[in-house]
Amino acid sequence: MANLESHIHHSGYVAVVGRPNAGKSTLINRLVGEKVAIVSDRPQTTRNRILSIVTMADVQIIFLDTPGLHKPMDKLGEHMIKAAEDALKDVDLILYLADVTEKSMKAEMHILERLREVSVPVFLVLNKVDQVPDEASLLPKIDAFRKAYPFREIFPLSALQDADFSGLVSSIVSMLPEGPCFYPEDMYTDQTERIMAAEIIREKILQLTREEVPHAVAVQVKEMKTRENGTVYVLGDIYVERDSQKAILIGRKGSMLKKISSEARMDIEKLTDSHVYLELWVKVRPKWREKESDLRALGLVDR
């Protein structure tokens, strides 16, 4: 009987939710072992639901990385919130990430109220413990969260610094139902190379620019093909809302655009395992975050 049980396969969906900049994408990249989602120190980096897959012996975990839950300021924000809330439906487990360095829990309470409506187990992941002085200082935070919500388990960790996530993974697996592999064993995301290339370009913009520019940027890869010599040609359009933002992205004598292109090209080469020729154009699309038609045209919401 024990031998038969060892061949039972488990699989399921795990939604990863939390406030902007809690470290959701960083944790998922570490768990998957591949760079699936872009990361930056800017809030609201993730704009869409991203599916990431971990396949092990007799187990397949499908993570749903979601936009950070926040008060929407425009149409794009409304769609980001909807993507996050939709991810809570029809999953087997929810990982709720919280930044342990945040002093106030006021913003967390709104999310916890939303989680009271779900019927699946919720794990609390207290992230960024590498930034607190000692373990004793974690205890009041853990106690406060325990009083606020009946979490199934609590995991203090550092998504950025920790090397071993086996305890978290084992607990996740224990929550998954019996089921087959939903995706091929060598597949780690449902995103196309074109979408991932666009996100890599946007990540470099997030990392290299400040002020109002990052949130006003959308990137669309218009063309991505392998030429006869094996080079992958990538043509991308970068959209901003104002001429002043365009000027910042281009920089003096094109210096900023060259830097963005250089850093993005290196990551796209890792993605494609090929030499890449990257061509980028910056275009102004006024108030695109407010227009449903623009959000659809840019692929940020379903057509």
Angstrom distance (rounded) from CA 100 to CA 142: 9
**pLDDT average, residue stretch 253-280:** 95
HEC string of 86-138?
Answer: HCCCCCCEEEEEEECCCCCCHHHHHHHHHHCCCCCCEEEEEECHHHCCCHHHH
Is residue 55 within 8 Å of 49, Cβ to Cβ? Answer: no
Specify the length of the chain in residues: 303
Tell me which DSSP letter residue 68 carries: P
Percent of the chain with pLDDT over 70: 84
**pLDDT average, residue stretch 156-172:** 94
pLDDT at residue 4 greater than cutoff 50: no
Is residue 52 within 8 Å of 25, Cβ to Cβ? Answer: no
More confident residue, 300 or 252: 252
Angstrom distance (rounded) from CA 161 to CA 141: 20
pLDDT at residue 18 greater than cutoff 70: yes
pLDDT band at 107 (very low <50, low <70, confident <90, very high): confident
Token pair belonging to 67 = 């936009």
Of the ranges 113-117, 119-123, 135-139, the best mean pLDDT one: 119-123
Is residue 70 within 8 Å of 20, Cβ to Cβ? Answer: yes
**pLDDT average, residue stretch 101-113:** 83
Name residues whose C-beta falls within 8 Å of residue 302's C-beta, 6 or more positions apart in sequence.
296
Of the ranges 1-5, 143-147, 216-220, the best mean pLDDT one: 143-147
Q: Is the pTM of this model over 0.85?
A: no
pLDDT (tens digit, 9 = 90+) per residue, 168-225? 999 999 999 999 999 998 888 888 888 889 989 988 998 898 766 767 888 999 999 9
Helix (H, G, I), strand (E, B) or coil at 229: coil
Other beta carbons less than 10 A from residue 121's beta carbon: 16
More confident residue, 231 or 209: 231
